[in-house]
């Protein structure tokens, strides 16, 4: 159920609850009015232990007017409160949907770069606080410019969406796939050491190769370059990303046999 449907369901439930409350209020008001009149004018109500209603027209009219005015005031106040509540919910929902839209890249359906710093800063803080490893893998699609030049940008968009789907399929639900820019993606692997990160890289290479064989664009082969960096405590977000990016570019210079993975031993930063 989407947020709009949930909002409508909550409003329907609220209306039902409000109707129940108003029935109770009307019943209680009638009891209070009759009780007050019986106390103020007992002779008009009780005759030989029997209830007799003898109310002057003026008293009845004034009482009805007071009850009506109070009822209208309460109804108007409730409607205004409900309207304000609805507007607040709608504004909060619109803000949440706008935030969610800005966090996700519409083409590839992975996280957008605008969300990267906040995301990675949180993962770095958690990893350092708990003394846990954090792996970063920068990914770049090989021959992507030729795809756009030969087959057009619609085909390029299709390839990017397919690569993004492969990357998401190769990581866990606790990991993150971020479109870093153009045909580059950054994988944030929480609580993943270097051997675990290398397993992810091998899985990505295999799945991309399988996809390329099944969807070969003429003589143009689609591959992927990967750069692995294990976060070192004390590194900033920018430093960690730059390390992964540099190693991805180093991997791009390796001959097309991608069996070797460009990586270096992380060195602590001052």
Contacts (Cβ under 8 Å, ≥6 apart) of 74: 25
- Residue 184: strand, helix, or coil: strand
Phi, psi of 139 (to 5 degrees): -120, 140
- Residue 236: strand, helix, or coil: coil
Between CA 185 and CA 171, with CA 262 as vertex, the angle to 5 degrees is: 40
Contacts (Cβ under 8 Å, ≥6 apart) of 18: 78, 82
Which pair of structure tokens corresponds to residue 173? 């639900």
Helix (H) / strand (E) containing 146 = helix 144-151
Catalytic amino acids?
A: 183
User: How far is the first Cα of the chain from the last one, in angstroms, to the nearest whole number?
Assistant: 50
């Amino acid at each position: 159920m989407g947020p709009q449907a949930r909002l409508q369901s909550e409003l329907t439930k609220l209306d039902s609850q409000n109707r129940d409350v108003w029935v109770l209020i009307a019943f209680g008001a009638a009891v209070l009015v009759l009780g007050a009149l019986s106390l103020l004018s007992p002779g008009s109500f009780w005759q030989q232990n029997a209830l007799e209603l003898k109310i002057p027209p003026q008293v009845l009219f004034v009482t009805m007017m007071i009850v009506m005015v109070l009822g209208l005031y309460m109804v108007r106040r409730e409607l205004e409160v409900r309207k304000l509540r609805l507007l607040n919910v709608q504004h909060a929902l619109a803000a949440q949907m706008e935030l969610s839209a800005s966090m996700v890249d519409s083409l590839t359906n992975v996280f957008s770069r605008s969300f990267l710093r906040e995301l990675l800063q949180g993962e770095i803080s958690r990893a350092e606080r708990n003394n846990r490893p954090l792996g970063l893998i920068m990914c770049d699609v090989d021959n992507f410019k030729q795809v756009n030049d030969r087959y057009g940008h619609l085909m390029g968009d299709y390839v990017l969406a397919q690569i993004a789907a492969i990357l998401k399929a190769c990581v866990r639900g606790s990991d993150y796939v971020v479109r870093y820019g153009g045909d580059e993606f950054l994988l944030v692997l929480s609580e993943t050491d270097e051997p675990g990160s290398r397993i992810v890289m091998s899985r990505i290479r295999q799945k991309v190769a399988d996809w390329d064989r099944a969807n070969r664009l003429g003589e143009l082969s689609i591959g992927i370059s990967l750069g692995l960096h294990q976060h070192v405590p004390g590194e900033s977000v920018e430093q960690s990303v730059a390390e992964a990016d540099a190693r991805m570019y180093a991997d791009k210079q390796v001959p097309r046999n991608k069996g070797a993975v460009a990586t270096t031993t992380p060195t602590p930063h001052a």
